[in-house]
Structure 1
Amino acid sequence: MRLIKLLIILLFVLGNNVLAQNIVRGIVYNENKVPLEGANVFIPMLVKGTSTNSSGEFELTGLPNGKFDIQISYIGYANQIVPVILGGAQFELDIVLTPASIETEGVVVSSGYSTTQHQNAVKIEVLRLNEHHLMKSPNFMEMLTTVPGIDMISKGNGVTKPVIRGLSMNDVLVLNNGVRFENYQYSNHHPLGIDEFGIETVEVIKGPASLLFGSDAIGGVLNFIKERPAAVGKLEGDYNLQLFSNSLGMVNNLGFKVSADQFHGGIRVGQKTHSDYLQGGGEFVPNSRFYEHSVKLNGGFNGKMLSTNIYYDFNMQKLGLVEEEAIDLIASRGRKPSVYYQQFGTHLVSQQSKIFLGKTKVDFNTSLQSTELAHIGNPNEYELQMRLTTLIYEAKVLFPSKPGNDYILGAQGVNQWNRNINNRETILLPNAFSSGYSIFGLAQRSFTRFRFQAGLRFDAKQIKSNEVGIPSEPEYRASVDRKYNNITGSVGATYRLNEYFLIRANGAAAYRNPNLAELTSNGPHEGRYEVGNISLKPEKSVEYDVSAHYHNDNFLVDVAGFVNTIGNYIYIAPTGALNGGLPEYRYSQDDAYLYGGELGLHFHPKSVQWLHFKTNYSMVIGKKRNGEYLPFIPANKLTFETGFMGKKFGLGSKPYLLIAMNYAFAQNNIDPDETVTPDYILVNLSMGSSFRLGNQPLEVNLTVQNLLDKKYVDHLSTLKEVDLYNPGRNISLSLRIPFRASIR
């Protein structure tokens, strides 16, 4: 009781500094000092924003004290990021935006604090999914592969896993709006588990990021950032429809959101249905069908001392498994999975709060996630069923500092339960409980053109599982009680020669603890017999990155290189023996290293503003200590894109035409258990425009993937094992209907 009283007194004393009203207002102009209507003004740290009126004016009220980055954006103009320090007074801004054909910088949140891409010592790529000219695909993960260095392991359109610089599965951490996403990510047979509905951007960290996120971030991070709330005083929403010829697919989603001065909320529902897809040449792939639906709710409050947001996500997936048993049973195309499919049902509740205590800010985040996994063999016959429940909690303190400097101290905890339910025949993973705790510190300091970042982290984890079976049986699994602890850190710097050119260098140590599947597996899984290894040690990685970036208003070049050495790299490989009539695979580990890099060019000729050229190249080599190549390493990729973007064409506005060519080099650097994959070229086409029916805007997009209906196989497609190819020609039609109304 005494502690509670002291805390209340402390909050009261510190809160005296935030009772005054903070107001930010201003006008946004173009380069000719003409006010811009509809410019977006957004404070990422508070998840709060508005838009300018017909006079270019905006106003944000009820803001807490502290340091904030305000991002001002408008189509066709360079983003402007204005840092402000609020202290109980009115803040006036006059913003002049300059035309730019290339969007070069934005505020990112995956760095631990709200900062810009160029300020951060760790390179963070941003993919904006709300850009209407983005190539549409039945496979959400395929849209992310437009970022150099990002690939995917696929088992058809519905089952895909992200790959960052050659690392995948549990070596890549997936975040749902900053929350660790836990849904049995260890297997390439399991899906990503996050759909694109209501996702505005994806932030990508390439390379170790254990300092902020802990285990599983040894290869990098994908953070799926939710759409921002409606502008203050507005009701906003949109309906989206996509039709796909190759898989006879249909995708729908509908969202509404509303914001007042202090409260905001929203809802989005979505659905996907796809039949078996067609390979290049026209033959269908049996059981590649899948179905998915989701519901997403959110609400939030912004006050003078507290900013909080609450999210609820539900996602249900039914995914056909393209395996020999299913191929033998399915004679014609279908839409509904009925045999040999997996079902994932996920509930995720999270709250993210920021408490403003004078010049100090405290982040307090919690989440509870439950994922139920079931494998169905024959119709309505459950082979296995289990539930993974994850509780995560985190607190971070951002201490007062001078502009350009940031200091963070944080603590995190994770509790996780795996339970087999309904007494199914197969126990894939034993009942188990794991707990992990960590503390970390991070500092950034600026000196003229240099910005330095350094941090340190300590983690402790325990995994305890029950025994499975009888000791005399071949599939017996003894109980496990393992403890791990790790110390990791990173150091990096950014040197900004001028507003156009910067260089980054970063070194980071990361780790990954063995997971339950790697330690305890002993039984059949997806057509093979998997055997775990109780003696596995944590993976430990040290990576060095160097990158350079140059841009002006019509030209951008970005180049990056890396070397990643991994001690005790964990992988699964065939033993050459049969176990229970199935090929046996065992988890093993060895020291390994990966190296490579990416190059990107983007050019808009000043004399021909409607034309643009874009080129990306990425490569990675991965080897074990004995000189053998690592499995599932993507082939080198080279992409070319030519775009035509205008302001007006007939009845349409903002028309565009994009022609892209993707070249995958032959992958001859293969693991002994893999086969060589030939090179291939794909041609893609996308076109679209915005229209108006009366006062109602519409956005229409037509995309053709694999225009020439090329019969090819990607090196990371697991369907290569059963002699099936990637999708052939796919024509998609997309329609977006946005709507907006004032509530004042």
Structure 2
Amino acid sequence: MKLHYILLISLIIISVAPLTHAQQNQHVLTGKVSDGKGQPLPAVSIIIENTSYGASTDETGTYRIINIPAGTYQVKASAIGYGIQTRSITLGAAVLEPLHFTLVDADNQTLDEVIVTGVSRASLAKENPVPIVGVSAAKIEQSVESNIVDVLVKNVPGLTAVKTGPNISKPFIRGLGYNRVLTLFDGIRQEGQQWGDEHGLEVDAYNLERAEVVKGPASLIYGSDAVAGVVGLLPTMPKETDGRLHGSFTSEYQGNNGLIGNGGRLSYANERWAFTLRGSYRLAKNYTNSVDGRVYNSGFKEANASASTRYTSVAGFTSLNATYYNNLQSIPDGSRDSLSRRFTEQIAEGEDDDLLNRPIVPSSMLNAYTLSPLHQHIQHYRLYAKSNYTIGDGAMDALLAYQQNRRREYSHPLATDQPSLDVRLNTVNYGANYHLPTFLNTEVTVGVNGMYQQNESVDATDFPIPNYALFDAGIFGLAKWKYEEWTVSGGIRYDRRWLTGDDFYTRTNPATGFSERALPPDIEGAYLQFPAIDETFHGVSLSLGGTYEISPSLSLKANIARGYRAPNINEYAANGLDPGAHIIYRGNRDFEPEFSLQEDIGIDYSNPYVSATLSVFNNNLTNFIYLTQLTDEAGDAITDAQGNRTFQYQQSKAQLYGIEATLSLSPPFLPGFSFDNALAITYGFNRDEIFKGDGIQGEYLPLIPPIHATSSMHQGFTFNSSWLPTANIGLEADINAAQNRFLALNNTETYTPGYVIFNISAGADIRYSASHSLKISLQANNLFDRAYQSHLSRLKYFEYFSASPTGRLGIYNMGRNISVKLTLPF
């Protein structure tokens, strides 16, 4: 409890310390926004990046932002259906002229996007040598998917997801995932047992302002766990400072699994204070496809709530934020009747559980919203404070956060209130950066950040990982030099991680027959499942890259980066069953930290009618950690009584390389039309000499996505109507090649055939006031009800038989899904 009190006091200090500043050097920014025809645009968002200042245009296209301190800023104008425009301003002694914007119809001006993830301070995407893709609130709102990661996968080439049903998607970037992809929520590391296969993200997808994906090592800023990249999620904050109440309500229904979702937010802001309340609730029953019918135990119930308050002075701002996530999540185990292939229900365990004679799940259970008693319960709490203030000609930002993740997995059919896995993770995140005054066209940032963690089993019967404590500390320096068409950036960082834990004993409880933790000194006859841990990892991260702006529309980029990652607790010390994953894990205490050395070369082109990108990457990893299945002498999987397979972590050299490309066309002779295409190719190889030339028997890495391409056409319509100003339709082809480069060694993976999925969409804005419109989105995913299995779907391997009457094994992905989504701003 002392840790909690210290954190609370620290949060209060960081929140209130900078609240008093002189009211001097305040400036007013005004201007107008119009379209390509010179007509004023209302409801355009005007944001001063990396600050809390912003406004919206009125019916005449005019905006006004007051009380802005002196400095140099990037000002962004954005509106749904229009390209983003960003302009630089310097507020000082001179009188500032009005700053006007002209927005064009095409939403493809990616070079002018302002990014905040993976950089020390907000900057334009075209100035950053590392590939970073932004996904706007409009794209998030228009997408109808089961979770936020699936939304991002549709919009970011090179981003894929390992899935365990509709609501669990773990992000993978260029073939790397788990603790190699760092997820940030409002700049705070998301810490929630990322080592698990079925452990998804604990965020509210209905209340995100924007998402950004960094493709490549970002260890320089964030430390361990970002060797593959970063997924940054930014929550909504008030834009208007008019002293009025604003809000938004979202509701959706998805026909395949009956998903019902509702989310909303309320916000108020004036020149000094801003307040936001957010909340959402989603529930779904079992999803269905043409092969499996309804997939038993694939439903969920999820609730979110959050609140933010922010104080802004002439020198900067401080915000205090709290979030709550609660999810009841079913996980299928794949057991079936051998002849009918209907799903069966576990009603016993151990030797009494006969996998071949479980009772068939009745249709009433398959079609109900009621979850099985065998499910997961995930809760995530987050309390954090952030500050950003100018100090002389420089600036400083700081963050302090506390989060708790509680994960309980229930897998005992005769003791449904007894969790099999029950882990509680407490994390304190800290960080402070100082941005030195710009000199000789150079921006320099120095900083420290890290975290302290405690993880413990609370009331469990299975123990895949031990109790442990972890402390991370890192120090870094970054510099960015700009001169004419050149931007060069780089830096260096040093990290150190201390990992400790006491001896962890287990024994069988004679009353229940379950395993339980045995506490010293009462350990007679107990099993030492996890010996004590006292380990230190450390590493140096480096980065150097540059961009050359050939013209305002064309940029060349190159970057080389060395990333660092310490082994996670599962890789290092696992020794037991994760009941939700249906996997018995085995770690390795001889592991060394992973290091990646990645080269990126890219070219970006963007104008109002054409947008194209091409990125080539090569990533060499030393001490690469991967998972393979263990088999017996006959080559059969080693399993327990419930069919749970055993996997062992290994370490070797590895190489991943590939390309990503996008092309978007918006011909001027077809107003509102866009033709968008994306391609991602990733190859992954185990470079251990013993596997050289072995192909699928060890040379290929596991969980490498197949060649993936998307092609879509969208047509927007503008009407001379007071109630129906815009509408749109779209058609998309999601093309996945066969994956014949897989890890077949020890039956770890199997071949995956290729497939093409077609999706259609339609939408409209229905204006109900001068500045607000109801947004309607209709979508049909997997239009032709194609039966397919994604190569990265874990459900593909949820199978207990070696053959089936239909010739199909494992669980298939979701079939046709017709959905509707409504967003009502007010």
TM-score (norm 2): 0.85
Moved more, 316-325 or 495-504: 316-325
Summarize the alignment of residues 672-687 of structure 1 with structure 2, pairs less than 5 Å apart: 672=744, 673-687=748-762
Moved more, 674-683 or 470-479: 470-479
User: Closer, same or farther in 2 for the Cα pair 1:572/1:649, shift >3 Å?
Assistant: farther
User: Closer, same or farther in 2 for the Cα pair 1:403/1:244, shift >3 Å?
Assistant: farther
CA contact (8 A) 2:204 2:280 kept: no
Aligned pair partner of 1:397 in 427, 434, 450: 434
Query: 2:793: which partner in 1?
Result: 717
Higher strand share: 1
Please tell me the residue identity of whatever aligns with 2:656.
Answer: L
Query: 2:139: which partner in 1?
Result: 131
Deviation at 1:335, TM superposition (A): 2.0
User: Closer, same or farther in 2 for the Cα pair 1:566/1:90, shift >3 Å?
Assistant: same
Query: 2:248: which partner in 1?
Result: 238
How far apart are the structure 1 equivalents of 2:166 and 2:574? 27
Summarize the alignment of residues 186-197 of structure 1 with structure 2, pairs less than 5 Å apart: 186-197=195-206
Superposition CA RMSD, Å: 2.2
Aligned pair partner of 1:145 in 145, 153, 176: 153
Query: 1:8: which partner in 2?
Result: none
Query: 1:515: which partner in 2?
Result: 568
How far apart are the structure 2 equivalents of 1:132 and 1:308? 27
Summarize the alignment of residues 465-504 of structure 1 with structure 2, pairs less than 5 Å apart: 465-469=501-505, 476-504=529-557
User: Closer, same or farther in 2 for the Cα pair 1:301/1:384, shift >3 Å?
Assistant: same
How far apart are the structure 1 equivalents of 2:57 and 2:767? 21
Aligned pair partner of 1:706 in 741, 761, 782: 782
Tell whether 2:29 aligns with 1:21.
Answer: no
Deviation at 1:100, TM superposition (A): 4.1
Query: 1:6: which partner in 2?
Result: none
Moved more, 88-97 or 632-641: 88-97
Tell whether 2:70 aligns with 1:42.
Answer: no
Q: Summarize deviations over 1:391-427 as a string: whole Å, max 9, x none.
A: 0110100011159531100011310010222x33223
Deviation at 1:59, TM superposition (A): 2.2
Tell whether 2:191 aligns with 1:115.
Answer: no
How far apart are the structure 2 equivalents of 1:505 and 1:82? 25
Aligned pair partner of 2:622 in 564, 567, 572: 567
Query: 1:641: which partner in 2?
Result: 712
CA contact (8 A) 2:208 2:234 kept: yes
Aligned to 1:508, the other structure's residue is in SS state strand
Deviation at 1:348, TM superposition (A): 0.7
How far apart are the structure 2 equivalents of 1:464 and 1:700? 52
Tell whether 2:520 aligns with 1:452.
Answer: no
Please tell me the residue identity of whatever aligns with 2:122.
Answer: S
Query: 2:164: which partner in 1?
Result: 155
Deviation at 1:142, TM superposition (A): 1.4
Summarize the alignment of residues 286-685 of structure 1 with structure 2, pairs less than 5 Å apart: 286-324=296-334, 327-329=343-345, 330-332=361-363, 333=366, 334-377=368-411, 378=413, 379-402=416-439, 405-421=442-458, 423-469=459-505, 476-526=529-579, 527-577=582-632, 578=638, 581=641, 582-625=644-687, 626-627=691-692, 628-648=699-719, 652-672=724-744, 673-685=748-760
Query: 1:4: which partner in 2?
Result: none
Aligned to 2:139, the other structure's residue is in SS state coil
Q: Summarize deviations over 1:180-222 as a string: whole Å, max 9, x none.
A: 0000011112112223121011100001110011111011100
Q: Summarize deviations over 1:239-290 as a string: whole Å, max 9, x none.
A: 1110011001100001111111111011111001000000235701110111
How far apart are the structure 2 equivalents of 1:278 and 1:630? 31
Deviation at 1:32, TM superposition (A): 5.5
Tell whether 2:261 aligns with 1:251.
Answer: yes
Deviation at 1:463, TM superposition (A): 0.3
Moved more, 423-432 or 242-251: 423-432
Deviation at 1:572, TM superposition (A): 1.8
Aligned to 2:127, the other structure's residue is in SS state coil
User: Closer, same or farther in 2 for the Cα pair 1:729/1:22, shift >3 Å?
Assistant: same
CA contact (8 A) 2:28 2:65 kept: yes
Deviation at 1:664, TM superposition (A): 0.3
Deviation at 1:316, TM superposition (A): 0.5
How far apart are the structure 1 equivalents of 2:543 and 2:214? 14
Moved more, 570-579 or 584-593: 570-579
How far apart are the structure 1 equivalents of 2:595 and 2:140? 41
Unaligned runs of 5+ in 1: 1-10, 740-744
Please tell me the residue identity of whatever aligns with 2:554.
Answer: F
Aligned pair partner of 2:113 in 106, 111, 117: 106
Count of paired positions: 726
How far apart are the structure 1 equivalents of 2:183 and 2:684? 22
How far apart are the structure 2 equivalents of 1:157 and 1:92? 51
How far apart are the structure 1 equivalents of 2:684 and 2:306? 39
Moved more, 685-694 or 514-523: 685-694
How far apart are the structure 1 equivalents of 2:371 and 2:172? 27
Deviation at 1:606, TM superposition (A): 1.2
Moved more, 164-173 or 282-291: 282-291
Deviation at 1:597, TM superposition (A): 1.2
Please tell me the residue identity of whatever aligns with 2:399.
Answer: N
User: Closer, same or farther in 2 for the Cα pair 1:89/1:477, shift >3 Å?
Assistant: same
How far apart are the structure 2 equivalents of 1:512 and 1:156? 28
How far apart are the structure 2 equivalents of 1:686 and 1:22? 45
User: Closer, same or farther in 2 for the Cα pair 1:502/1:721, shift >3 Å?
Assistant: same
TM-score (norm 1): 0.94
Query: 1:7: which partner in 2?
Result: none
How far apart are the structure 2 equivalents of 1:347 and 1:454? 35
Aligned pair partner of 1:61 in 42, 66, 77: 66
User: Closer, same or farther in 2 for the Cα pair 1:435/1:263, shift >3 Å?
Assistant: same
Q: Summarize deviations over 1:652-702 as a string: whole Å, max 9, x none.
A: 321100000111000000012211000001000000101135766311111
Unaligned runs of 5+ in 2: 1-16, 337-342, 346-360, 506-522, 633-637, 693-698, 799-809
Aligned to 1:605, the other structure's residue is in SS state coil
